Amino acid sequence: DTGVSQDPRHKITKRGQNVTFRCDPISEHNRLYWYRQTLGQGPEFLTYFQNEAQLEKSRLLSDRFSAERPKGSFSTLEIQRTEQGDSAMYLCASSWGQGLGKLFFGSGTQLSVL
Amino acid sequence: TQLLEQSPQFLSIQEGENLTVYCNSSSVFSSLQWYRQEPGEGPVLLVTVVTGGEVKKLKRLTFQFGDARKDSSLHITAAQPGDTGLYLCAGAGDTGNQFYFGTGTSLTVIP
């Protein structure tokens, strides 16, 4: 068990560019979550996968954001045409089971949009 | 969105003091969790409470879930510098698919 891994740890990009983040959950975990967190605030839910199916997506999530989990293992989060307001820490978490359980978080990807 | 308000937002205390952090909502939650987060890292789960009125202890930390399952508190006895961090409560959402996180309490324990 190597924990939840996120890559890259830091990303600096210019406004208007596209960025993609990767999350490798704990291997036997079927549930995967993406959250966004700004400094001093709690994480904000973005989207949730059970295996490869994306079952829930925040209504607040712009259509510039898309996430995939093609084989029910790793996941990617893409942001198109980045804006300065997208600057935040993007956290991935995974868990096991049918219901809500213990979330294991990765260390996050810190995105800075210039 | 089910909102969770935490208070205080910031807390700075001396080592050895006691403190209580509150998590309040107008919504009922089927379960509630408390996490601690250090700078540059993801949150780490401390406890899950499920039953209204439930009290759980984890060494010097005492967690309580309100009778109506709308609020919770975290009490730390004899705080230590290692307790420094961002404390987050998180309530299970309506769909049962995700947790809504509170606004957070940033705790600093001064040696």
Nearest to B61 by CA among B21, B101, B12, B89: B21
Q: Which of A4, A100, A102 is opposite residue B96, by nearest beta carbon?
A: A100
> Cβ contact (<8 Å) for B42 and A55?
no
Distance of alpha carbon B40 from the chain centroid: 19
Mean pLDDT of A2-9: 93
* Ranges of H-type helices in B5-111: none
CA-nearest residue to A50 within chain B is B97
> Cβ contact (<8 Å) for B104 and A107?
no
Average pLDDT, chain B: 93
Residue A71: pLDDT band (50, 70, 90) is confident
Q: Which residues of B touch A104 (CB under 8 A)?
A: 45
Whole-number percent of chain A with pLDDT over 70: 98
> Cβ contact (<8 Å) for A40 and B104?
yes
Residue A2: pLDDT band (50, 70, 90) is confident
Q: By the CB < 8 Å criterion, does A26 face chain B?
A: no
Residue A76: pLDDT band (50, 70, 90) is very high
Q: Which of A41, A48, A102 is opposite residue B98, by nearest beta carbon?
A: A48
Per the CB < 8 A criterion, the answer to whether B87 and B35 are in contact is: yes
